[in-house]
Amino acid sequence: MLLRFPSPHTFEERNRALLDDPRALPPADLLLWRQGRDELARRALEGQQEASRRRTPRVDAVYPAFLAGYGGVFTVDLGFEGVSLRVCAGTRLRRAEPASVRLKVGNQSIYLSGRVAWGSDDRVGLQVEQVHPADEQVLQAAVCKRLLEVLQPGSGGRALMGRRAGD
């Protein structure tokens, strides 16, 4: 079977629709979006230093969030499989400790649970282990939205995440 990738314009439309309402995309459009997502992720990883370290791209992105047991926080960056959060100084989550977070992405609230991958005085990295499929698609669409912005000619890829201390 020959795979058909959507045009950048078609993918961007599907991505925007997914961020507005993940239930609104019919299965055929969702399939096209997935193919575009995979191609976009491949292109983004090609351009990153130390790309072998990550299986999926990460981007700078700020969204309001709620970390269970700790309160309001903000995202620092997002990836398909993880999120970095700005937390209050002194919030001490230990590596491998379970954590849950609710992100407000556009019109959607998405719920992620997983384990702490790393932490510092004011940041926590969460490796996502459980997420509803619709929430996972919204998370990935948010990453894709930023990838589309930074992979535009002239952007210099400023929001693509390479390796940083603490990651």
Question: Across residues 71-75, what is the average pLDDT?
Answer: 94
Task: Report the predicted TM-score, pTM, of the whole model to 2 decimal places.
Answer: 0.85
pLDDT digits (tens, 9 = 90+) for 6-47: 788 889 999 999 999 988 899 999 999 999 999 999 988 886
Predicted pLDDT of residue 160: 52
More reliable by pLDDT, 164 or 138: 138
Predicted pLDDT of residue 166: 38
Enumerate residues 6+ apart whose C-beta is below 8 A from 54.
45, 48, 79
d(CA 57, CA 114): 18
Say what percent of the chain tops pLDDT 70. Answer: 83
pLDDT digits (tens, 9 = 90+) for 74-93: 999 999 999 999 998 777 78
Closest CA to 17 of 107, 147, 83: 107
pLDDT digits (tens, 9 = 90+) for 86-119: 998 777 788 999 999 999 998 899 999 999 999 8
29-38 residues labelled b (16+ CB within 10 A) or e (exposed): bbebbebbbe
Question: Across residues 135-142, what is the average pLDDT?
Answer: 96
Closest CA to 128 of 144, 107, 111, 145: 111
